Structure 1
Amino acid sequence: MELPLVVGVDGSDSSFEAVDWAADEAARHGLPLRLLYASLWERYEGVRPSFSTGRPSEEVMAENIVASCVERARRRTPELKVSGEVLPDDAVSVLLNAGHASFALVTGSRGRGELAGLLLGSVGLTVAGRAVCPVVVVRGGQRNRQGSYGRVVVGVGDSPEGSEAVRFAFDEARTRGCALHAVRAWRRPAREHAGDAAGADEESASALLTESLRDAVRDHPGVELHRQVVEGTAHRVLLDASTAADLIVVGAERRHGLFGLQLGRAAHTLLHHAECPVAVVPQRD
């Protein structure tokens, strides 16, 4: 059974952008697309006056939003299998539950009614920090969202928590038929006369990058790979790389028994500031 690509919709402009991006992504992977609207109105139906015969306005609105998003996806990719559903729960719970049987979860960068000053909506941030499957937050300019640069970027760190992210990024580059840029940041030693040490640190970073990519390179022989070792902090280096990328991929470790947000600084920064869609891929222990 094919796992669907799941999109959270709420009628905001940001969620419409997420639907467009997800429709293209589902078509590339040959996956069904499932659109979910989270609504709590059903929980309170029992408290409506017994003489009320009309349908709750929230129900009508939810169904209209889902129907319009389904139609939008079908117009964009007519061959796509698309379904829509309204579920009686909060948005975070709906998406996290759906994530157990999804190829990936997709959200917009800001929900309907959220303050314009917020960098990332609370739903997208929480889902990215807790989901058991990859989460893509669709953000950035139109060229980035439409895949105009022909480039997927993956951030490669020190720990094995990035191996699933690396594999996901290779799969994306292969499916899109584009280049993959694997980026590793390194820091110059904060001491005087550290020229030799800096060179050694850069060489060590390069060797670790090659080792981290070894298995995925073997399994994806057709992917055009560019290795980049860049001096600087990981969050700054990856943020710069996002400006000319169609997708940037980072890993996040999921520790058993922990329920809070499990995002490193680089992932957190990208989710708030990246110039392209961001995929957060969990590495479970």
Structure 2
Amino acid sequence: MKAAPIVVGVDGSGSSLRAVDWAADEAALRGVPLRLVYASLWERYEGESLAEDVGKPSEQVRAEDIVRTAARRAALRRDGVPVTTAVLPEEPEYALVREGHTACALVLGTRGRSGVVELLLGSVGLAVAAHADCPVILVRGAHDNQVRAGTAGRVVVGVGEQGADSAALRFAVREASLRGATLEAVRAWRCPAHESTDHPLLAGEPARLHEQQAAEVLEQALKGVPEDVDLRRDTVEGPARRVLVNASHGADLLVVGARRRPGHRGLQLGRVSHGVLHHSACAVAVVPERG
């Protein structure tokens, strides 16, 4: 049976070339092919120009030149990974979401806007992360336009209400195993304001109970993690978005789940996933959660 590819969206920008680097590394780790996709209406949709003026007489020729350049970059990055390319004459979010039906993951770059470099996520990336059937990895950039193979040796995953049934957790376990990295499983917790007390004999008791409950939820979720995975458990007080963004510093990858609701047409990310996509210090993998 033919292996499902890693699909990466390219448009000639520096951010998409960094995504090619990441996707080539990911394909090599998984032993799967790489597919480079250019959606020809991307410029008009994003309202941004290409990183380089390729100087071709037609959009079709220009698009083909972009995917050839990306393919050469992928080959230089990971020579043994099979690469195919496609130029699709349609809106990019629809093309990429459809490509995700037969992909094991989608990889996209992130861009800065209004002078805020690498802070706000492009509209295409946000739409794809919210609707794709497969995991979507959004790659943060570097000032030197390079993506380095994971050197931090750390994959962070947010453990939510899905617990042991979480697709995000399973994805994170696999990523940590492939990379030989430490898996840091994080469970955020908060003490409701109405449970706090100023009585000196009870001070800290509500917080201790909520932290203990978070630790129990985390432990239950991690029961199925293979023993050969270097696993770190972390319960942290605070809003989940802030906790995960803080944990992303010094990590290779942050993994979060996004619940998919059948028949719902709006963005299906949730506040936590949406927040970390905008502010994470490392690449983010958004993994669909069913139910």
Q: TM-score, normalised by structure 2?
A: 0.87
Q: Which residue of 270, 275, 278 corresponds with 1:269?
A: 275
CA distance in 2, matches of 1:145, 1:213: 29
2:266 is paired with a residue whose SS is: coil
CA distance in 2, matches of 1:73, 1:159: 36
CA distance in 1, matches of 2:236, 2:165: 18
CA distance in 2, matches of 1:206, 1:229: 6
Aligned partners of 2:135 and 2:287 also within 8 Å? yes
Q: Work out whether 1:214 is the aligned partner of 2:220.
A: no
Q: Work out whether 1:225 is the aligned partner of 2:210.
A: no
Q: Work out whether 1:167 is the aligned partner of 2:173.
A: no
2:11 is paired with a residue whose SS is: coil
2:223 is paired with a residue whose SS is: helix
1:108-139 CA-partner distances (Å, limit 9, x unpaired): 0029xx65447110000010011111000001
Structure 2: state its 5+ residue gaps.
43-55
**Which structure 2 residues correspond to residues 1-285 of structure 1 after superposition, within 5 A?**
1-40=2-41, 57-110=58-111, 116-117=115-116, 119-139=120-140, 141=142, 146-160=149-163, 163-190=166-193, 191-193=196-198, 194-215=203-224, 217=225, 220-285=226-291
- Cα RMSD (Å): 2.0
Aligned partners of 2:18 and 2:147 also within 8 Å? no
Question: Alignment length, in residue pairs?
Answer: 267
CA distance in 2, matches of 1:145, 1:136: 15
Aligned partners of 1:250 and 1:281 also within 8 Å? yes
- Which structure shows the bigger proportion of residues in helix conformation? 1
CA distance in 1, matches of 2:115, 2:278: 13
1:242-277 CA-partner distances (Å, limit 9, x unpaired): 111000000011000012111122211111111100
1:40 to partner: Cα distance = 4.4
1:145-177 CA-partner distances (Å, limit 9, x unpaired): 531210000001124597000000000000001
1:34-80 CA-partner distances (Å, limit 9, x unpaired): 00000149xxxxxxxxxxxxx96111110110000001000111101
CA distance in 2, matches of 1:145, 1:272: 21
1:185 to partner: Cα distance = 0.6
Are the structure 2 counterparts of residues 140 and 205 from structure 1 closer, same or farther at C-alpha, using a change threshold of 3 Å?
Answer: farther
Q: TM-score, normalised by structure 1?
A: 0.89
CA distance in 1, matches of 2:174, 2:137: 15
CA distance in 2, matches of 1:154, 1:266: 12
Structure 1: state its 5+ residue gaps.
42-54
CA distance in 2, matches of 1:105, 1:159: 23
CA distance in 2, matches of 1:139, 1:273: 10
Q: Which amino acid aligns with 1:157?
A: G
Q: Percent identity?
A: 55
Aligned partners of 2:109 and 2:139 also within 8 Å? yes
1:4-46 CA-partner distances (Å, limit 9, x unpaired): 00000000000000000110110011010000000149xxxxx
